[in-house]
Structure 1
Amino acid sequence: MNLSQRARIRAGDTAAFGQLFEDHAHEVYRHVVRSSGSWSAAEDVVSLTFLEAWRLRAKLRPEGDSVLPWLLGIATNVLRNTRRTARRHAAALIRLPPAEAMPDFADEIVNRLRDSEQLAAATAALARLRPAEREVFTLCVWSGLDYAQAAEALDVPIGTVRSRLSRARTKLREMTAHVPGPREPGAGSGQELGGRTGMARSNQERNR
């Protein structure tokens, strides 16, 4: 994204912001799906992310290469807020009487179920990490940000990104040492979460 486009977004140009959505909505969606483990929830989070990006458009840096780290940083904050809301909602539901069981028609969609099982397995492993480690892992490994971009997205020093990512990889190796790792949905790079192939490497490390 060139400087004039950034300036137009900062100034509230709706056409420039619409192009921003066209350019990056899919990448934000993929990041949120991987982080949340839910396709349906991801749609809401993406909508909230771009609404928040519009509200915070004046805070977009006037210079830089890609605006994606800024968007993924906003998405990460939205995910944090939705998780807190979900926990409060779940606590409220516990106090309600049990509802009548309804049939799960998703079982009829074989391919979607297979992807859901793979995504659930990866999400379950990541859920055992500390939130800060999980966020760095999803940004660097699954969404392909380098250390500097992840630091920008999370508003932390690069050294913090490095140490959190190292801890996350170590923990995931220990958790998945003897279990073949599921391929992440839609990936064409052959990355796996665990197993004999080892942990996926960030774009920065692969290019060294």
Structure 2
Amino acid sequence: MRARIRAGDPDAFSRLFDDHARSVYNHAFRLTGDWSAAEDVVSLTFLEAWRLRGRVDADGGSLRPWLLGVATNVARNVNRAARRHADALARLPPGEAVPDIAEEIAGRVDDDELLVSVRAALAALRRPEREVLALCVWAGLGYAEAAEALGVPVGTIRSRLSRARKRLRRLATDTATSTSTSTSVVAAAGETREPRARSRQVNGDRDTAVRLVREKHR
């Protein structure tokens, strides 16, 4: 498979997309917090993967860690572009008021508040810590696979993940305003042991942090 990808085999890339597009999409949403942006990241990730196909090592296992590494870099660029766009909009004169549609979306309030609270907690982390958390806890990569994805030593992955977990737990203790929020933030930190390679989800996170992905609604 790696040899076919390196050679630019269209059928191999079609299979690569079928096998890993959902995983890339979920990872992209965890890094961007926006469904539309996540879709853009998926498209750009596979375009970038095609461009970088010659860099794929001839030997190795699944290409999922490599793809998630490409997606992480793409998400960084998408987030930077979104911030520049938001800054540009903020400089524009205020527009006319729009009607309040709160009643139409009342059923989504609880989920939206949970999403906001968890994303606010994650925003308190440094970008490298957020990326490692997304790869190891939510995407289920092992330390070695996450190191491959980000192009850093395994020891760097361990230290970043440890710092991320400690900061999230401290934030949950110091600033959580409700039991559900506190639980969600703590769950976002994941388990204390090393995540198993190739695991798609950390045990116990379905009703908390991984609700961000909302896979069952897609």
Per-residue Cα deviation, 1:8-32 (whole angstroms, up to 9, x for no partner): 1111111110110000000111111
Q: Please state if 1:193 is matched with 2:189.
A: no
Counterpart position of 1:28:
24
Q: Please state if 1:44 is matched with 2:34.
A: no
Q: Secondary structure of the residue that 2:196 maps to in structure 1?
A: helix
Counterpart position of 1:145:
141
User: How far did residue 41 of structure 1 move?
Assistant: 1.3
Q: Secondary structure of the residue that 1:65 maps to in structure 2?
A: coil
Distance in 1 between residues matched to 2:59 and 2:52, nearest whole Å: 16
Counterpart position of 1:186:
none
State whether residues 125 and 175 of structure 1, in contact with CA within 8 Å, keep that contact through their aligned partners in structure 2. yes
| TM-score normalised per structure 1 | 0.82
C-alpha spacing 1:105/1:13, structure 2 compared with 1 (3 Å): farther
Distance in 1 between residues matched to 2:31 and 2:59, nearest whole Å: 28
76, 96, 102: which one pairs with 1:80? 76
Q: Which range moves more in the overlay, 138-147 or 174-183?
A: 174-183
Instruction: Give the unaligned 5+ runs of structure 2.
Output: 204-218
Mapping 1:44-193, distance limit 5 Å: 44-103=40-99, 108=104, 114-177=110-173, 179=176, 180=179, 192-193=184-185
State whether residues 6 and 55 of structure 2, in contact with CA within 8 Å, keep that contact through their aligned partners in structure 1. yes
Q: Secondary structure of the residue that 1:203 maps to in structure 2?
A: coil
C-alpha spacing 1:111/1:200, structure 2 compared with 1 (3 Å): farther
Q: Please state if 1:6 is matched with 2:2.
A: yes
Per-residue Cα deviation, 1:157-193 (whole angstroms, up to 9, x for no partner): 000000010000000000012643559xxxxxxx953
C-alpha spacing 1:164/1:198, structure 2 compared with 1 (3 Å): closer
Distance in 2 between residues matched to 1:112 and 1:13, nearest whole Å: 44
C-alpha spacing 1:117/1:61, structure 2 compared with 1 (3 Å): farther
Instruction: Give the unaligned 5+ runs of structure 1.
Output: 184-190
User: How far did residue 110 of structure 1 move?
Assistant: 6.0
Distance in 2 between residues matched to 1:76 and 1:198, nearest whole Å: 18
Q: What amino acid is aligned across from residue 81 of structure 1 in structure 2?
A: N
Runs of 4+ displaced beyond 4 Å: 103-107, 109-114
User: How far did residue 113 of structure 1 move?
Assistant: 5.2
Q: Secondary structure of the residue that 1:170 maps to in structure 2?
A: helix
> Aligned Cα RMSD in Å?
2.6
The number of aligned residues is: 194
| TM-score normalised per structure 2 | 0.79
